[in-house]
Amino acid sequence: MTIIKRFTETSTLAAIALTGFAAAPAASEEASIFFMLPNSTTIRFERRDAPLYVAAMEERMPGATVTVQNGEGDPERQQRLVEDALAQGADLIVYTSSDANLAAGALKAAEEAGVPVLLYEHDAIGGKAKAHVLFNARAVGQAQGKRAAELIEAMPEGTVKLTRVKGNQGEYGTTQYELGQNEYLDPLIESGRVEVVCEDFTPNWDPVKAQSFAENCLTRTGGDVDMFLGMNDGTTGGSVGALISQGFQKGEVVVTGGQDATIEAVQFVVQGWQDNTIFKDLRVMAEAAADVSVDILKGEELSEAWINDSVNNEYMDIPAAFLPVENVTIDNVSTVIEAGLYTWEEVCKGAEGTRVCQDNM
């Protein structure tokens, strides 16, 4: 039996049992796995990552128990959850850090307890980990920067006023997204084609904070912004919310730089509020994380089918599985439908009159 449990630090909030019928699982198949989520503001983790990982582990180790916990954006809370998991006899910690720069204590606790850690998506600075499964963050930033540059080049001559809404400061992902974007933006900035009028990081990737920043930018510039460039669907959604709250019409200001293909973001793309989202196939990530988890639990060599690089976390070079990404715009929005994420009815809710929806519903 595989069990998903969601806890506060001391009490169970909910439990969902998924029953497997494998006969007499081996000891390694009775492992206790704790999957630590970073926050609730990046909604993909609760909605999709956790259920997909649990289902993938159910296939591979029906006797294992997966306990899902959420750090809620608080690294101290997340460390307490890790310490509690170790006290409960965890065999593996699958760890998506609430704050990469404040994760060393949790990693040290796991190392001292002799419990392996598999980093999932977010990095974790200053401690030991067996492996890291993540989407290619530099490639995400490059795709975002390339798309922004294409949109800028298509604009009328003159200086394009750009606002950059960045992710959580100091994270490996945020740093890599920015470096990737800069490969395309820096030449435009240096040539004078682009002027960055506002830019800031978004603590914990909080869409509410992203919207507040975007609203403040619009107020400060008198609405003189041509483009908002984010790093995920939460930050781009915050920009969309700011434009709507201040009475802008769709298309007046370009909003690009999405990532995660949330249903809200895909709906914004269809409606014309958001230009793009980077699609990360979380089913592939779940398969990779589950395969690597089994390798770790069984003490086997990490699968060469997944491990293709390494990530340095200022403590060690961690074997890494970099996964591919795809940019999705209105021109290929069918990608997320074909991948089974959503139906056309879901994507087109409130936008049934758009051409793409009329063509496909």
pLDDT tens for 96-133 read: 999 999 999 999 999 999 999 999 999 999 999 999 99
Q: What percent of the chain has a predicted confidence (pLDDT) above 90?
A: 86
Q: What pLDDT digit, counting tens, does each position of 337-360 carry?
A: 998 889 999 999 989 999 999 999
pLDDT one digit per residue (tens) for the chain, 361 residues: 345 544 333 322 233 233 232 333 333 478 999 999 999 988 889 999 999 999 999 999 999 999 999 999 999 999 999 999 999 999 999 999 999 999 999 999 999 999 999 999 999 999 999 999 999 999 999 999 999 999 999 999 999 999 999 999 988 889 999 999 999 999 999 999 999 999 999 998 999 999 999 999 999 999 999 999 999 999 999 999 999 999 999 999 999 999 999 999 999 999 999 999 999 999 999 999 999 999 999 999 998 999 999 999 999 999 999 999 999 999 999 999 998 889 999 999 989 999 999 999 8
Asked if 278 and 328 touch (Cβ cutoff 8 Å), the reply is: yes
The CATH code for residues 137-279+329-360 is 3.40.50.2300
Residues in the chain: 361
Tens-place pLDDT, residues 194-239? 999 999 999 989 999 999 999 999 999 999 999 999 999 999 999 9
CA distance 192 to 40: 39
Which class would CATH give 2-129+281-323?
alpha beta
The whole-model pTM stands at 0.77
How would you classify residue 247: left for phi > 0, otherwise alpha for psi between -120 and 50, otherwise beta? left
The per-residue pLDDT of the chain, averaged, comes to 91
Listed in order, the ranges of the chain carrying CATH 3.40.50.2300 are: 2-129+281-323, 137-279+329-360
